[in-house]
Amino acid sequence: MMPPHDAQSPSRLGVLNRTRSQSFLPPTPIRSTSHLSTVSVDAHSLDDSPQKPNNLLKPATPTKASSTGLLNAPVSSPALRARASTASSSRAGSILDGLSGDDAPIAGSSTPSSSGPKDLASSLDNVILDQPRGSRAPSVASSRKGKQRAVEQVEVDPEVVGGEMAVATGDPRKGLRELVQARPIPQVATSRSRASSVKDNPHLLPSMPSGTYSPRQYYVLTNAGKPVFCSHDESEDNITNLMGVAQALISIFAEEDDRIRSIMKGRHRIAFLLKAPLYLFCVSDWGEPEHVLRSHLEYTHLQILSVVSSTQLSRVFQRRSNFDLSRLLDGTETFLRNLIDRSQYDFSFLTSTLQPLRMAPAVRDTAAASLMPPSKFRDLLYVLLIAGGHIVTLLRPRKHSIHPSDLHLLLNTLASSSTLRSTETWLPICFPKFNPAGFVHAYVSYDIEDVGLVFVSADREAFEDLRGWKQIVLEKLENDKTLHKIKESIPLHPYHVAAIGCPGLRHFIYKSRQHVQITQPEWEAPYLAESVDRKRLITAYQKLHDAVHAKSGQSSPLKLVYIRTEHEVCLAWITKPFELYLAVSPQLSKSAVVAAANAVAKWVLAEEGRVFLKDAPVF
């Protein structure tokens, strides 16, 4: 049993990594299940080989039907038979074929462990580490060709800054360079020594101070220092001055053939993303890993490219290096701000996944059949049916996949503009992951409130033909009352965590690695909108995601991470079929946490046809 938690004691972290777990893995007779237990943990979750870097554009390793993710289900169970059934030749295994979300599938290990089973709760007790409150372990930044490095801690004393600037002579840029480089040297050395200790002790999970959760601030500027975008209201003079300082800092490292990644100042982290001719940076005190902020900046950059393609950007700045891009992006601030808000709270952005509308699979299949396009549309790329801001179904050519980030950009564009949802629209949009140099055209029609049809074509002259076909599709959907059933499914999409039937379970996020989709219940008390509790839990999820995918330069990814604080207990569990992140009451024992994880996995497996878009036709 777990000792009672003392509210005054420091936060405790428990991490179970691959090396430690191998010492108590029991013999695994089959690899068709993924089971987390206080007695055993399946060996197929993570093998001895290092995980290969993820490439979202690289075809994913097909998931075998035997790897069902079913927890201790008999081979003859209906769930297994349904999971193993094959789709017809006209259907694709996943709407995101060729993708594996934000990570590659984990290979299995068929070698039984030589040691006998041990109690998982006691094993977690063995690796719990006490860390003082407010301690900080900087992450290890990965370098590129030995040239790029991260400035993980640049502790600048304001008084020292003033003194240094007073004695600096000559070139002001040289004085600024000396100021920035004067004090970080011992800090970086300390960071490296502490980082090596993380590698030497794989049970140590680097932590950040508890955030104060002030609103994050996002900025975009050109490589000439001209402001492009600011996520919050601020005076023009302040923004211009801040952009000048950021441009100077970036230039300092560029002169040394280096690229700045992040700066730490107290509780604040400043993350940079350099995408010439644009520079992006963000200021946050939430305590999240660096890659989280960089992913937000990546999406911000992709949203800009959806309006101005990379070819247009390059051409404009080749002609005028000091071009004012803010004028060209005038009117798109709403799209950028809405994207930033969604990316901070929606876990599908961080995991590069989708969350389709939860509905009866039969209704979804009927809708997909009605959307099968005629053969005359040779340049048709994607056909989408959207309801309540979620995808009902998606059809694509057999040889084309679609990247989740492109879908996020499209959904964000539609959600950010009431005009697009009220009239027929022929929308030119760039899908950067599909083709960053050009545009496709999307026919958008919301004939019924909250239910829209989107036809994406490479033919800019296809508006009238697609408009005529839309009428045929609507007639099919109305004749069999499919539209009415879809509209009825919108208010039923959210579900409560109580549906799992697990006392003490507060929230979870389940990612299907095969379908590249997630599902999660509604946020409930104490994790209400804009509350510190929700921000704290989201940050905890981000730290767990960082640990299981080794995003901060860890020596190896983990397969099981357990974090206990005075507020909640969080668990990350990664297997071949799925990833699971959950939060439970801090009063629960480790065995109860394990039971909650298994209960969630079993419930999602039973509801898989409703919460995931499993099969979508191709044309």
CB 594 within 8 Å of CB 36: yes
Encoded tokens for 575: 């297997």
pLDDT at 396: 92
Helix (H) or strand (E) holding 563, with range, is strand 560-564
Strands 380-387 and 390-395: antiparallel
pLDDT bracket for residue 548 (50, 70, 90): very high
Comparing CA positions, the residue from 200, 413, 190, 467 lying closest to residue 299 is 413
Q: Would the pLDDT of 359 be above 60?
A: yes
pLDDT at 344: 93
Would you say the pTM of this structure is higher than 0.75? Answer: no
pLDDT at 376: 85
Q: What is the DSSP string of 87-119?
A: PPTTEES-TTTT--TTSPPPPP--PPPSSPP--
pLDDT bracket for residue 206 (50, 70, 90): very low
pLDDT bracket for residue 472 (50, 70, 90): very high
Name the packing angle between helices 463-479 and 482-489 (round to 10°): 90
Strands 569-574 and 560-564: antiparallel
Strands 578-584 and 505-512: antiparallel
Q: What is the pLDDT of residues 224-266, one digit of tens each?
A: 999 999 998 888 889 989 999 999 999 999 888 899 999 998 8
458-465 long-range contacts, Cβ below 8 Å, gap at least 24? 458/379, 458/381, 459/379, 460/428, 462/377, 462/379, 462/380, 463/426, 465/376, 465/377
Omega within 30 of 0 (cis) for the link into 209: no
d(CA 169, CA 152): 28
- Mean pLDDT computed over 601-615: 95
Least confidently predicted of 156-170, 260-274, 388-402, 431-445? 156-170
Q: Average pLDDT of the chain?
A: 75
d(CA 576, CA 61): 11
Q: What is the pLDDT of residues 42-76, one digit of tens each?
A: 333 333 333 433 333 333 333 333 333 333 344 34
pLDDT at 378: 84
Is the model more confident about 134 or about 535? 535
CB 255 within 8 Å of CB 176: no
Q: What is the pLDDT of residues 287-297, one digit of tens each?
A: 999 999 999 99
CA torsion angle for 204, 347, 301, 334 (degrees, to 10)?
-140
Residue labelled with tokens 């901070």: 344
Averaging pLDDT over each range in 96-105, 167-176, 304-313, which range is the top one?
A: 304-313
The side-by-side arrangement of strands in the sheet containing 380-387 is 390-395, 380-387, 451-457, 440-448, 425-429
pLDDT at 96: 65
pLDDT bracket for residue 2 (50, 70, 90): very low
- Mean pLDDT computed over 521-541: 95
Q: What is the pLDDT of residues 11-44, one digit of tens each?
A: 433 433 333 333 333 333 333 345 565 443 333 3
Encoded tokens for 114: 């030589």
Q: Would the pLDDT of 160 be above 60?
A: no
Encoded tokens for 88: 């017809």
pLDDT at 615: 83
Neighbouring CB atoms inside 10 A of 200's CB total 9
Residue labelled with tokens 């994207």: 339
Encoded tokens for 61: 């390793």
pLDDT bracket for residue 487 (50, 70, 90): very high
Per DSSP, the three-state class of 589 is: coil
Domains of the chain: 12-131+495-611 (no CATH), 158-203+208-345 (3.30.450.70), 361-493 (3.30.450.30)
pLDDT at 321: 87
Least confidently predicted of 193-197, 276-280, 377-381, 589-593? 193-197
DSSP state of 520: -
C-alpha distances in Å from residue 205, one per residue of 36, 533, 550: 21, 22, 11
Q: Would the pLDDT of 352 be above 80?
A: yes
Encoded tokens for 375: 């053969």
**In 31-95, which ranges are continuous DSSP H helix?**
78-84
Omega within 30 of 0 (cis) for the link into 526: yes
d(CA 83, CA 575): 17
- Mean pLDDT computed over 461-487: 94
Q: Would the pLDDT of 535 be above 50?
A: yes
- Mean pLDDT computed over 575-597: 95
pLDDT at 150: 40
Q: What is the pLDDT of residues 413-429, one digit of tens each?
A: 999 999 999 999 999 99
What count of Cα atoms within 13 Å lies in the side-chain half-sphere of residue 109? 20
d(CA 287, CA 539): 7
Helix (H) or strand (E) holding 412, with range, is helix 404-416
Q: What is the pLDDT of residues 71-129, one digit of tens each?
A: 334 434 444 344 333 333 344 456 665 454 454 433 333 333 333 333 444 444 433 33
